[in-house]
Amino acid sequence: MRLAGKIAIITGAGSGFGEGIATRFAEEGAKVIVADIDEVAAKRVARAIGGTAVRADVTSGIEVAAMVAAATESYGGLDILVNNAGMPQRAGPADEVDEAMFDRIFDVNVKGLYFGIVHAVPVLKKRGGGVIISTASTAAVRPRPGLAWYAASKGAVVTATKSLALELAPHRIRVNAINPVAGDTPMLKEFMGDGEAIRRQFIASIPLGRLSTPRDIANAALYLASDEASLVTGICMEVDGGRCV
Ligand SMILES: NC(=O)c1ccc[n+]([C@@H]2O[C@H](COP(=O)([O-])OP(=O)(O)OC[C@H]3O[C@@H](n4cnc5c(N)ncnc54)[C@H](O)[C@@H]3O)[C@@H](O)[C@H]2O)c1
């Protein structure tokens, strides 16, 4: 059991990568808070893995504070925060993204991380250490045309991760990110539509020849969350079949 006795919050855990991470962490002995803006989805996943569901919109400071408090109330503390909830951009020209969509992308992807830090770090400091992991994207480090604002938001997550790693190291809080390549989750059609041709073309650009799965991302998160990674901080790990090389 690689996370025996650890208490973890995973945001956006009602679907896709977050569900995969929640499931994998529970398999390895963690007590998991399954947080999602979609309460029905959070409850479904929590039931399946024996965790606790919390409805939390990561763009709300009040709801993120309540989410962090739920970890202490349910399990007595917090060891791991996974900032995974994300907002995609429908592929298209940067100048056609309206202000409301731009704001939503940055609110969920960047402000969501900010609120996670503001509310979880004091708890982790008091506990004497912990782990923060964010789901960024290969779009942050190898942006392609058509996803400019999404890529920029994930770039902010990558830069914040490195900066936070340095700042929080004296408190024994490790801060890392994962950069998944396109993954087979409900979010994928937002990025590439439903077309089979575009999907095949994208897969052809991945040297290992397939999209990522929730299990791939969960295995990376498990390593970063575990004591096996006790000297690893400030990295943004590509899980991308070689696409970013
Ligand atoms: N799927 C991909 O191709 C891909 C690639 C790289 C990175 N990512 C990133 O991975 C993360 C997970 O995405 P996914 O592919 O699993 O998507 P998904 O759509 O399957 O799951 C996203 C979950 O986040 C929840 N969510 C959305 N807004 C929220 C909010 N404001 N507060 C709390 N929860 C919220 C949704 O309800 C959903 O359950 C995101 O950060 C995404 O940007 C996805």
Largest alpha-carbon pair distance within the chain? 52
From 15, 105, 106, 142, give the residue whose CB has the most ligand 1 atoms within 8 Å, as the site to mutate: 15
Distance from the Cα of residue 101 to its chain's centroid: 20
pLDDT band at 191 (very low <50, low <70, confident <90, very high): confident
Listed residue (39, 31, 42) closest to 8, CA to CA: 31
pTM of the model: 0.98
Q: Where are the domains of the chain?
A: 7-238
Residue 196 confidence (pLDDT):
87
3-class DSSP state for residue 234? coil
Quick: pLDDT tens for 205-226.
999 999 999 999 999 999 999 9
Nearest Cα residue to 116 out of 45, 177, 190, 40: 177
pLDDT for 143: 95
H-helix or E-strand containing 54?
strand 52-55
**Top mutation candidate among 185, 191, 240 for ligand 1, by most atoms within 8 Å of CB:** 185
pLDDT at 194: 77
Q: How far apart are CA 172 and CA 110, in angstroms?
A: 23
Residue 78: how many other CB atoms lie within 10 Å: 26
What pLDDT is stored for residue 155 in this prediction? 98
Round to whole Å and give the CA distance between 175 and 167.
10
Kindly state the average pLDDT of the residues 27-45: 98
What is each CA distance from 208 to 19, 119, 205, 222, in whole angstroms? Answer: 24, 39, 9, 22
- Helices 112-127 and 148-168 pack at an angle, to 10 degrees, of 20
Distance 227 CA to ligand 1 centre (A): 26
Overall CATH class of domain 7-238: alpha beta
Q: Average pLDDT of the chain?
A: 97
Segment 112-140 shows an average pLDDT of: 98
Determine contact, residues 155/140, Cβ cutoff 8 Å. yes
* CB-based pocket (< 6 A), ligand 1: 11-12, 14-18, 36-38, 41, 56-59, 84-87, 108, 135, 137, 180, 182-183, 185-188, 191
pLDDT of residue 76: 97
